[in-house]
């Protein structure tokens, strides 16, 4: 993941340079990218689909990066751009340190405001409250924010980035260190989830959103393609049940595009797949099997309600569900 070069905060302060306003911003995302997936989940859980529209890129990049070839004419219909990089260069013509997603763009100017994948979900949960749907969960509650930040830092180090440390290691020592940290953490999480439905208790918080995109990619991509192969997710019983519980919760699984994930990782990040062979999995029905996590009590949304049907439903999967 390229560094977050654009780190402005979009806030509830009406006098701020970048203040929250419905329709003012557009978020550029890839359904293949776990960092963008986190932002997509938060946006959906909070009911911000109308207030903050999204532009979804093709999972296959070319030499210029993420592109809008899924849209008619190969251009985003709102911003009129062909590549994510165009919004970065509009903000800074000399920018050359990568053009990652998610990125939030000011619609009027076409400039990237922020690509800070760590703070975008937090700001959606806190600064955008006036635009949240009724019954939206409090993903970043007062009194638990320090705990959430600390937990997210651990998850990011050992799991979210840890799988990339394993998969992109260039020495045996680096691989062994990251591999050990990753599976030690997964085993700790599996044990933790034996007695609690969600990571911090009886309802979802930002830490659950933070971890889920890595879990949904684990057996499909990280286990084989990234050599994270001590065990599969399905072999960690509590973590696998937890992952299915989240997947079946509105706002989580209905944002997952297995086809985009499959094609991006195996056809773009192809160093270990030189013949560009596309795996036939996963079997999505496995994610819909009973998980039994209700027996632990609690409810994903606490006293709130689930979001309604998605405004941008994931298209039926092709090869990935074969």
Given 25, 88, 140, 164, the catalytic residue? 164
164 catalytic? Reply is: yes
33 given a catalytic annotation: yes
**Exposed e or buried b per residue across 55-65, where buried means at least 16 C-beta atoms within 10 angstroms of its C-beta:** bbbbbebeeeb
Strand partners, 65: 62
Query: Which token pair is 193?
Result: 């989830």
Asked if residues 71 and 42 have their Cβ atoms less than 8 Å apart, the reply is no
Question: Are 250 and 196 spatial neighbours (Cβ–Cβ below 8 Å)?
Answer: no
For residues 278 and 255, what is the distance between their CA atoms, to the nearest angstrom? 21
Cβ-proximal residues to 98 (8 Å cutoff; 6+ apart), any chain: 2, 3, 5
| CB-count burial class (<10 Å; 0-12, 13-18, 19+) for 244 | buried
Q: Which two tokens stand for residue 91?
A: 């903000």
What is the dihedral angle through the alpha carbons of 280, 284, 290, 293, rounded to the nearest 10 degrees?
A: 100
Catalytic residue among 25, 33, 228, 242: 33
3-state helix, strand, coil in the chain (%, to 5): 40, 10, 50
- In order of 104, 202, 260, 302, the CA distances from 91 in angstroms are 12, 42, 28, 41
Closest residue by Cα to residue 132 from 24, 256, 44, 9: 44
The residues annotated as belonging to the active site are 33, 164
């Amino acid at each position: 993941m390229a560094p977050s070069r654009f780190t402005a905060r979009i806030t509830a302060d009406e006098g701020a340079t970048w203040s929250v306003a419905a329709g003012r911003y557009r978020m550029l995302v890839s359904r293949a990218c776990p960092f963008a997936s986190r932002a997509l989940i938060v946006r959906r859980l909070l009911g911000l689909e109308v207030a903050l529209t999204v532009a979804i890129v093709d999972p296959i990049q070319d030499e210029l990066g993420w592109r809008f070839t899924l849209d008619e004419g190969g251009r985003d219909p709102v911003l009129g751009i062909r590549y994510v990089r165009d919004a970065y260069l509009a903000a800074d013509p000399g920018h050359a340190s990568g053009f990652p997603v998610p990125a939030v763009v000011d619609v009027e100017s076409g400039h990237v405001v922020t690509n800070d994948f760590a703070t975008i979900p937090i700001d959606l949960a806190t600064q955008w409250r006036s635009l949240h749907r009724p019954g939206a969960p409090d993903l970043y509650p007062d009194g638990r924010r320090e705990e959430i930040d600390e937990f997210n830092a651990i998850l990011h180090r050992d799991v979210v980035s840890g799988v990339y440390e394993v998969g992109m290691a260039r020495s045996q020592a680096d691989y062994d260190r990251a591999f050990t940290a990753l599976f030690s953490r997964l085993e700790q999480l599996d044990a933790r989830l034996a007695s609690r439905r969600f990571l911090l208790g009886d309802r979802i918080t930002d830490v659950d959103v933070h971890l889920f995109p890595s879990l949904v990619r684990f057996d499909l991509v990280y286990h084989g393609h990234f050599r994270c192969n001590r065990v599969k997710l399905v072999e960690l019983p509590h973590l696998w049940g937890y992952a299915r519980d989240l997947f079946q919760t509105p706002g989580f699984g209905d944002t997952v595009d297995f086809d985009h994930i499959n094609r991006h990782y195996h056809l773009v990040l192809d160093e270990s797949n030189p013949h560009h062979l596309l795996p036939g999995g996963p079997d999505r029905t496995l994610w819909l099997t009973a998980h039994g996590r209700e027996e632990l009590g609690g409810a994903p949304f606490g006293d709130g309600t689930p979001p309604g049907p998605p405004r941008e439903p994931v298209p039926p999967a092709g090869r990935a569900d074969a």
